[in-house]
Homo-oligomer: A and B are copies of this chain.
Amino acid sequence: MANQTRSEVLLVGCGGVGALCAYNLEVGTQANVTAVLRSNYDAVDKNGFSISSIEHGEVTGWRPSKITRTISGNGKPFDFIVVTTKNIPDQPPAIAEVISPAVTHGHTIIVLLQNGINIERPLFKAFPDNIVLSGVSMISATETEPGKVRQDDPDILIISPFHNPRISMERESAAAQSFVDLYSASGKASCKLEPDVGTIRWRKLIYNACYNSICAILDMDTTTIRYAKHPVNDLVRPAMWEIWHIAKATGHPLPADIVEEMVDIDTWSFFKPSMAQDTSKGNFTEYENIVGEPLREAQRVNVPAPTLTVIYGILKALQWKVRAQNGLIKVPLERPQSLSLLEDS
């Protein structure tokens, strides 16, 4: 009986954040979660998840309602698809393509718990009649080994509707509220509705486009950068003000003290933001949505962004290197006859 009213949720990307999200949703008993697992499928299939959480305590041998390796339709259509994977549009397959088999047009609500801006655009294009929600998660959850997850900070999730001109704002807001209710049902996580998605996401970019990217380039943590000081003065702060000015010019004014707040927001914990973790592991970074999109907005509204321009060029080159290191590009041992350095490829 209870089961009949439960929402069907597909959770794509079941690392630290995804596993906590799945667990929190099922603890609320209003959702059946189908979790798409990749690298940790065998571990979770055998032993379930082990979760050590400041909110949920010690959990062992927990399994979502259903686990799967591949994405397909459901007996009942999915009410929500929650995507917590990294968002790397320059590296196929696209997220829209990945989730496509599970989307019921006009019904499934897509929730993007991902960094950056303009991430809704490819989803609007692929699924013009589906509501897309923004999730900005403050959780610090890490998968320490396959299936083992540790959560050190409270689970704070901010949900906002991305506005699709084909869909009414009322329906979008109602959908956002329904996901907030679903996520809050556990009584553990703090999930809030914030109508102004732009301000939320630009605010987070002040940190992400600057500290996250600069830590990746320097292979340094934010504590060390703050102690060294000159990287804050030479790089972080100028980049943050550029984001602040782009945000303002695109209609998302932020308070002036946000820059100093973000400069010093991390505790003295030698924290390496996600892109820095990615580069030191030889992984692709989310540089396109975190730096590329703000920079394209800057060009659109004619706001100078010299620091971010160079940071973007460097991150793009580092991404190219990862492709080459993974054998996706092979540099020929002899100079190709066709190589002209005066035209772009």
Contacts and interface: CB of A to CB of B under 8 A. Distances in A.
Given A331-B223, A341-B264, A231 B306 contact: no
Given A217-B217, A220-B321, A334-B268, A341 B226 contact: yes
Which interface residue of A233, A316, A317, A339 has the most chain B CB atoms within 10 A? Answer: A317
Interface in A299-333: 306-307, 309-314, 316-318, 320-321, 324, 329, 331-333
Contacts of A318: 218
Q: What's the number of copies of this chain in the assembled complex? A: 2
Contact of A339 (B219, B226, B314, B332): B226
Interface string A146-186: 00000000000000000000000000000000000000000
Contact of A313 (B223, B230, B329, B334): B230
Q: Identify whether the interface residues of A are mostly helix, strand, loop, or mixed.
A: helix
A345 B226 CA distance: 11
User: Which interface class (under 10, 10 to 19, 20 to 34, 35 or more) fits A?
Assistant: 35 or more
B229 A316 contact: no
B264 A317 contact: no
A282 B204 CA distance: 33
Contacts of A313: 230-231, 234-235
A230 B339 contact: no
Given A227-B339, A306-B309, A316 B260 contact: no
Nearest to A217: B314
A333 to B, nearest CB: 8
A58 interface: no
B229 A345 contact: yes
A320 B220 CA distance: 11
A321 B268 contact: no
A2 interface: no
Nearest to A228: B320
Given A310-B307, A342-B260, A225 B335 contact: no
10 contacts: A217-B314, A218-B321, A220-B317, A227-B336, A228-B320, A230-B344, A231-B313, A264-B341, A270-B331, A306-B306
Given A225-B317, A230-B317, A234-B316, 10 more contacts: A218-B318, A220-B317, A224-B324, A228-B320, A233-B344, A234-B312, A268-B335, A270-B331, A306-B307, A306-B310
Top 8 A-B pairs, shortest CB-CB distance: A234-B313, A306-B306, A310-B310, A268-B335, A231-B317, A235-B313, A227-B331, A229-B345
